[in-house]
Amino acid sequence: MTDKKVIGKYKAYLKENLSKKRYNHSVNVANAAVALAKRYGADEDKAYVAGLLHDTAKELPAQEQLAIVERSPLNVCDIEKKTTPLFHAVAGAELIQTLFGITDPEIIDAVRYHTVACGNMAKLSQIVYLADLISADREYKDVNKMRKYAEKSLEKAMFEALKFSIKDSADKGNTIPVSTLEAYNDFAAAAAKRR
């Protein structure tokens, strides 16, 4: 397990910089990520850390998040730079490096892609993406269905989660980042092969 002192440092930062509700969500996502990592053979420590820290930048002022996004060397599309709710994932991936010295590319990517997903998505990134959707505090209409998918198959759950996300964005008239469509296409192709 990751050093308890290190985890304590992460939690202390989050408690100070997130609302109680967002902090509790972060802990719930960490726990859901560990459960998925156990089920699907991923690194449980990395899953916990990435799940815990996925919303590190969520409650920073939008302008501050955007400033971090704009100077980020990570691959960020124009849609993400124009969509305020997407800033926090890139900003968070940057912050965990500067604040906590995290250099593990799997953890950085899991935080980076927890909202938009990406093509050729690594298992840890899939786990954190799903953990964020199915954590204990989530209450949207199809959450129980999504939890069942996550228990049965990581691939199926990702495909269903991406369909849900894209449909929700389209219904609201929102733009959809290219990386989300690339992720969807990957999982759609995998689903077609299973048929």
Task: List, for residues 101-160, the tens digit of each pLDDT value.
Answer: 999 999 999 999 999 999 999 999 999 999 999 999 999 889 999 999 999 999 999 999
- Rounded CA gap, 37 and 110, in Å? 13
Domain count, the chain: 1
Mean pLDDT of all residues in 64-78: 95
Pick from 20-29, 96-105, 185-194: least confident: 185-194
CA dihedral (94, 155, 177, 131) positive or negative: negative
Q: Is the per-residue pLDDT at 195 higher than 80?
A: no
Percent of the chain with pLDDT strictly greater than 90: 93
How much is the mean pLDDT over the chain?
96
Of 90 and 75, the one with more pLDDT: 90
Write the CATH number for 20: 1.10.3210.10
- Distances from the Cα of 144 to the Cαs of 88, 140, 141, 151, 159, in angstroms? 26, 9, 8, 11, 16
The yes-or-no verdict on residue 50 having pLDDT over 90 is yes
Closest CA to 135 of 11, 21, 42: 21
Query: What is the rounded CA–CA span in Å between residue 30 and residue 44?
Result: 10
Query: Residue 3 has what pLDDT?
Result: 86
For the chain, give percent helix, strand, coil, nearest 5: 75, 0, 25
The pTM (predicted TM-score) of the whole model is 0.96
b (16+ CB within 10 A) / e for 78-117: ebbeebeebbbbbbbbbbbbebbebebebbbbbbbbbbbb
**Structural domain of residue 77, as residue ranges?**
4-194
pLDDT at site 113:
98
pLDDT at 52: 98
Query: Model confidence at 1, in pLDDT bands (50, 70, 90)?
Result: low
